[in-house]
Amino acid sequence: MVRLRDIAERAGVSTTTVSHVLNGSRYVHPATVERVLKAVQELNYRPNMLARSLRRRQTHTIGLLVSDIENPFFAELARQVETTAYERGYNVVLCNTDENRDKEILYVDVLFAKQVDGLILAPAPGDHAFLRAYLDGGARVVFVNRYIPGLSAPAVVADDEGAMYALVSRLLESGHRRLGAIVGLESVTTTQSRLAGLRRALESHGQTLDDTWLVRGEVRREGGRRAAQALAQMPDPPSAVIAFNNMTFDGVLLGLLEFAPHLVSRIEVTGFGYSLVAHACRSCRYYVAQPSYEMGRVAATMLLDALTGAAPLEARRIVLENPLVEMVLGEGPAARPGAV
């Protein structure tokens, strides 16, 4: 292994001068710089970047914790976080919590023990008091997609309540009289906001949640499949069903194709996130396009600006638009304005 002493001897200078040249920490005469760099090249010196980072208390690495990487929404978000970080000279460590708070606690502890410079976190359900000690100690954390009330940290979220209100209103105004909903995890803020939008839209049309067929706590395709089984057994199923996320959006349609294919043309199945299955089945006219890429870009930019001193990390909530988008046959999600 080549040491600074070896470079110093080859260049005929002190190890301190070599250090100043390599770190740019003090002015060194150009002729001396040239001798040192020539010695570096001749000896094929490679600096220990980890040791250098730890000395500077900065690793140029951030952690990203998502609740379910199988969900295309989080895959797209992670892709944009990585792209944004790479463009600014940072690396990303991705962890998948599976909506499990204990797993999330473990990963947060591990990432900070490995001295990541900051975290972007889509919180799992449950109590997050464990984060308070990190935040009070100056840890840089940005919540994404969801937020934790009572914790002083910024969050980048979507207008879930407004999007649900617009979607339900569109369904009711188009003639649907009985709706169904496959509700997500009720303890997380995305579900709470979407339920609020559902209630508000129903009330504005003289209905309540009691008038709506609900399946609660489902976040994966298998949950949508179970909902489809229940729909197949109903003598009078709802005329429209809203999936609270794109995993159950796909799952309920695949389930209907399996258990009751005749219902695919009778029930308008729609929801949050673009669904290739919905596109193929022509199950809906409108769906809610989630700003996954924009959310990843904004969250990463906010964190990196704070880490590089470009802007302070303020405990504020940035709300992105969740547009209602028409499902156009022959076009993918990126082909429509507002879709992501």
Residue 59's pLDDT band, with cuts at 50, 70 and 90, is: confident
The pLDDT score that the predictor gives to residue 328 is: 77
The pLDDT score that the predictor gives to residue 208 is: 95
From CA 338, how far away is CA 97, in angstroms rounded?
29
Structure tokens at 300: 């990463």
Task: List, in order of start, the domains of the chain with CATH numbers.
Answer: 4-47 (1.10.260.40), 61-157+292-320 (3.40.50.2300), 160-288 (3.40.50.2300)
- Average pLDDT of the chain is 91
Which is it for the CA torsion 315, 295, 272, 177, positive or negative? positive
From CA 40, how far away is CA 69, in angstroms rounded?
43
Interval 278-333: pLDDT, tens: 999 999 999 999 999 999 999 999 999 999 999 999 999 999 999 999 987 655 55
Question: Residues 6 or more apart from 176 whose CB is under 8 A from it?
Answer: 238, 239, 240, 268
From CA 106, how far away is CA 125, in angstroms rounded?
15
Nearest partner of 334 among 289, 297, 268, 277, judged by Cα = 289
The pLDDT score that the predictor gives to residue 50 is: 47
DSSP state of 333: G
Residue 246's pLDDT band, with cuts at 50, 70 and 90, is: very high
From CA 212, how far away is CA 9, in angstroms rounded?
80
The pLDDT score that the predictor gives to residue 49 is: 46
Residue 268's pLDDT band, with cuts at 50, 70 and 90, is: very high
Residue with tokens 């934790």: 148
Three-state SS sequence of 96-149: ECCCCHHHHHHHHHHHHHCCCCEEEECCCCCCCCHHHHHHHCCCCEEEECCCCC
Interval 197-239: pLDDT, tens: 999 999 999 999 999 999 998 999 999 999 999 999 999 999 9
